[in-house]
Structure 1
Amino acid sequence: ADVSVEVATVDHTLQKVRRKYHHTRHCRKRRSPKKRFEELWSGLWTYPYLVVVVVTAVVFAVVVTVWALLWVFTCRESNNGVYFAGMIRVANEEFIPEYRHADSTEFLSLAKKIELVLSNVYKGSSVAKLYKQAVISDLSNNNLGGVLVHFWMVFEVPQLKSPAVREEWVGAILRDSVLTSLQNRTSVGYLLDLPVDIESILINAAQRSDYTSTSSGSECLDKPYAPLPGTSVPLELDPPGGGVSCHIKLTSAPGSVVRLTISSFLIQPSDCVGDALTVYDSLLPMSARTLRAWSGTCSMSDLLSTNALCKCSFSGADDVCVSACSSHVETQEGAGYTGHIYSPFHPSLLPTKCICTWLFGTPSPSLGVSLKFHNYVLRPKDPNAHCTHGWWKVNDHMFCGSYVGYSTVFRISHPSPEVEFRCSSRQAQMPFQAAYGSYNLSQPCDQGHFLCSTGFCVERHQRCDGLDDCQDESDEHFCCTASCGGPSPPHPLYVCDGHSDCSNGRDELNCTQGTLRWDCVGTCILKKNARCDGVPDCQDRSDEEDCGCGLPSPVRKVGSFSNLDRIVGGSNSLEGEWPWQVGLLFSGNLYCGASVLSADWLISAAHCFSKERLADPRSWRAHLGMLTRGEARHVAEIQHVVVHEFYDASTFDYDVALLRLRRPWPASLAPLVQPVCLPTPSFTPGPLRPCWVTGWGYRSEGGSKGGSKVLPAVLQKAQVSLLSPSECKKRFHPVTARMLCAGVPSGAQDACNGDSGGPLACQASAGGRWFLMGIVSWGSGCGRPRLPGVYTRVSKLTSWIHQHIT
């Protein structure tokens, strides 16, 4: 009974407020000014006026905030720090011991002078507005005199202008400043008033982390010094965790070089793929001065610096050594190999700068000099190519050296030749050695022997016996006849291949007693392609072990076949038809192919990872069980990339790489993900057995079809035929024993750009397992008539593969 209800509208409330305000203003005319102000203030904070004030304040705050954001993100460019590591040689300054200490008065005085010169140069250049500062990191002695200066340069570059500051242009500013003052063919000019050796100027782009971690205040920095040549300085370093980079700056007395001997090195396997040890021929982490870089465990080797300095860093890479060597060598007649010559500082790694000269002499003008190399070969120099693994001059004839997986013999048809060797690589290379002796100029091989391309002499009965006696198969070239008549047996290429090449069937008789094909433990069997053929031929069944591979189970077809689906004669694959096929994506883009070898390992082509930016496993992703691009059954991260140590980027020899997955792919993905079988060294598919190349590469040469670049969405397949080594060599030069050719005469079926690293799979027998015969490597265009594709020959590299994956 005491409750009353009033329904009020906004209009009703406002009318009451207006009446109250009107009554206050007009009825109380004799109030004091102070009283009127108080009443007015209380009136303003009544409900409607409070709303107006709050809304106005909010609108004002929003306007101010929006304006500030527009100024930051639109009107004002955000600046990024860009860092460069540099090195120059000041020619007129004598090195004193105080320069080794960055806090000494002498160091600070010279450093301030050089920093001022560098600043004046860049403040007067086209990048003056972007230049921030130069910081001298180290002063060191060198074997050319003067003082070697190691410095940092920092630029503040707006994001929109970041491409305008590159190491080539930053270095060109210094070189141009010195170039104008060069006189009388000397390499020393003036950087303003500072005499600088123009050949010593080197600028490399760097990371901010390199700049901060190598500063004098770094928590993990050491600077040992060897005061006398031959002094041994022990190094023991246990770097802390948490992503800290440790650096050791090694220096030694003038006139010497630093030899770094690694006796123990271990990085525990983990997800930290960035863990690495890098050695530089500099006191700063400069990529162009990389001596060696390791991740995980490594083979122990000695490293040598160019000067009396060297830097070890736990995250980077670097370059090499200067030395000279010469000797006079006398050979003996009829005594075989009587001595050895060695690479500079052997057995240390080969430096980048070195010169060696050997003067040979034989006891008779009818004798020449024979050099037997281990894992090294000399070939005539191509006038248009650069020698990347050693430059040789033999009596005014030029040769290039390269590393191979076998021994070679190099013969010099002169009784007293002069042999000069120069280092020519940007990175430290493996050492070499050669045994020397004399040979008869008129008859290099004894009677009844065959001269191999490797320089070896093998007995004539070993020619065309199906075995690689020359180590480069030169004894097996041009043997493509079945030899069905006469006393000689048929060539092993035709024996027991399931096809009768002889009219009397001679090549298919006694197929378990032909050429040696498989080694059991403790015994041998004579059977072709006994590996994983489903028949246990060895008593211990070793020929059928680890054979869970190469048996695909296609389940469905995607789309319909048409000319638009073709990639150089290919067609759409079925799901599960090629379960070992892998797509490799670099920074999100499909770049190469690969094949599954096991739950942990993939195999691909070395040239996919040859450049420095491509060698970082963190930028790669492996797409397994993928039929249509972007629809992988499993995406795996790469933990480690192993490129064959003999890979030659100029010839694509040893074009093979292994990729270790960070985690095994799930077994539940079978049969859509499955390994391909590895062939034995003697594996030979029958001539009627199909071989197929697969990939997502371009459909035609140049990657264009109808004027536009289009990659197929569905995995493509194309059937090709293997060519004999002799036919392959007729098409291309040079073709090595680690290469094979496959295609069709018309060129209608072929691999192309984007298929690199992918598989060439062949069946050993009808309904049998599929073996990885080749890896897409190189070719002359795509789909050209009479120009087949060239593949890495896997059967020649199986031992190297097993060394890593087992």
Structure 2
Amino acid sequence: MNSARYEYDGLNGRHGQIDFSSRKERTSSKKKVGIVIGVLMGILILAAIAAFLIWLFVFKDADSGSTVSKQLSASTQVFSGHMKLVDVPYNKKLEDTKSKEFRALADNLGAILEENYKKDPLLAKYHTTSVISAFSEGVIAYYWSQFNIPVEDLEIMPEFSEERLLETLESGIEDQRKTADLKTIRFSEVTASITDPRMARNPRGAKECFFRLEATETSQTFSSPGYPKAYPSRSRCQWQIRASEDKAILVTFPVFNIEDDCSDDFVSIYDSLSPDDSQAITEKCGLRPPSNPLEVSSSGNIMLINLITDGFVQKPGFMANYRAIPKSKVQSCGGDLTEREGVFTSPLHPSFYPPTVDCKWTIKVPAGKLVRVKFNIFRMKEPGVDIRVCHKDYVEVMGTKYCGELSTLSITSDSNVLKVKFHSDESYTDKGFSAKYSAYDPADPCPNMFACASGICISKDLQCDGWNDCGDMSDERKCKCETDQFSCGNGLCKPKLWVCDRVNDCGDGSDEKQCNCENNEWRCGDGVCMPQEVVCDSKQDCEDGSDEASCETSPGICSDFSFKCENNDCVNKVNAECDRVNDCSDNSDEKGCACGRRPYKMNRIVGGQNADLGEWPWQVSLHFLTNGHACGASIISERWLLSASHCFITSSPLNYVASNWQTYSGMQDQYKEDDSVQHRKLKRIISHPDYNQMTFDYDIALLELSQPLEFTNTIQPICLPSSSHVFPAGTPCWVTGWGALREGGQKAQLLQKASVKIINDTVCNVVTEGQVTSRMLCSGFLAGGVDACQGDSGGPLVCFEESGGRWFQAGIVSWGEGCARRNKPGVYSRVTKLREWIKKETGV
């Protein structure tokens, strides 16, 4: 498998509408009068109904609250932050919430907060409690304050703001400065941030899920309650971690399995001892693979970790290791780089970089050379940040700031010196970056290759081939179109094969302009033009039925695009199955949808080829006798795998003997079989009866396992599409396997992945010189460079459906001319055309 490329919206509002209609007006004058009287009577009736509703909802039971009000609920507002105290000596006993020193100072500060709130009538009216939750060196006190707003006063909610609270507390600081009362505790600094009430914990409460931990240089462990079985419902837990003043804290989560919905269950981590959003390091949920653990650090010697869960789904939770590290380790970065090439990273990479860090690297190469920097990993995502501005965490190079998650980033200097700045603010951190720099000759920046404007070097064969290989289109500009290319209106050159393929390849639509029907016509899937009136008229006018596809008004029409329900009804909706909408009256379109999910949350690695553990949990490795990996397969159920017939129907009859094959599910490394890998023998092999060894038509095989698989985080079934499922041309999909990394090369040790595109059937037929049948599809890049290769046979081609959040198998690796050759895409068995046979043989 060759180099992979990476290409990567809100809620839909539905509004009800009531239409009032009247009968057609009669010519009789008597009837006109009747209509007028009827309208007046209608108005009177509507007025009576309105009066009744007003009485019912507004005046009835006014003393106990209206019906509308009863449907609302009181609101709890919590603000948290810290206060820096003046002239208060720090006592180690303040760290113990049970000590008398803690109680005395906490009670005193709680009373001061209450007195300050009394200065604001609104805050005073609704303030219920204030709690001091911790102290740290400085002396800094961490607090939260709660305000309860009853139902009848909810209209004043907008007046409760961080600004109002801060103004009140800051005015208290100013009043203190005017008094000379030495007995009053004074504070010089105060913060306030609106906080999720579920994170307001009182460490002095007897029944609180609250823990105090002391970090040392020796690694220690803590876990969520109930681990490893399941955390309790409605958990509200908090861990305060401290270290000595010259240390920072590093926390690693080797196991992290929280429900995959951060609005319900989540872990939030703070660079503070208060759940102050302005000091948040990160908030995470879901399941993380062991190969990509969550690892965070503090900027100082304190950290707060919260676990919040709801009352529904319970997961195992987490196990965490924590230790103290030198503060200098999180604060020292940057420097002078003078070698001809090298690597530099964000602090602590691949762990999350710490908050409040600034770094500066000065890269200097020999005179006459320029500097090229390529970021292999770049992830600096933060809630609410406009990546066009990058006003929080960023990398700055040559006056431009970069943030967010970037799939490609390559920068070239204009001299032999390049300065790179990195900045992280007080809140929210991420994995950061890893970058490689090198010196190059500006006269020949890419020896024997094409130099992109971004500094990337690509093969000269990729220049002016119609594909944006550079990422900035610099390889497709100033091109002279060849005889086999189409000249786009915007100056780009595209293969003539792409003209009129119903895909806007040029970007300006010029390759499709002369192909469309007239404005008042509809173009069928086969290109035939029909009058516009045929669309959704409950009649199949186009031969392929495309005129009735996605027509809610055509329930009785069944075509190639229709989803067939179990009760034989037809749903005219593209890709209706497993989209989380019940379209069939018997709900059969949403049955059997426990598939196509990846339990582990994956990070996208720029330019990455090696698949991460659990990234493709349906991938199977097939070993023949003692020869090791021979073919791929995919999991479609506990007992059945899907593969290609040509792996088994060969010149040797031994290949069709089931006992000669071993299957390995959940495998990533061919040379490492750990406990997560499940080994099964084959019980039988079912090759399609119409398989043709010469043409590879019907190249599909079903494999029954001797024992069922146990689905785990790394072993899951892929979804099989219905026969009506559509994978449009241009759809980005993924092919995986342990096949050769290049034509004629050795098989891969680690599971490989490559992003490819579905190629238009017409184009596919032309480039394969008419060798494809309706049971085949092409995928890849006509420019070459990305393809399945030897050893990938039988493996899956999978595509992601956003509507249902699931992966579907579009194809099975079948055949191709060489590997990744220009105009020679990979050919796959088309699963949709073979779906009924799969169901007939397996019941899946």
User: What is the TM-score when the length of structure 2 is the normalising length?
Assistant: 0.47
Choose between structure 1 and 2 for higher RCO, CA contacts under 8 A separated by at least 6 residues: 2
* Bigger-Rg structure (1/2): 1
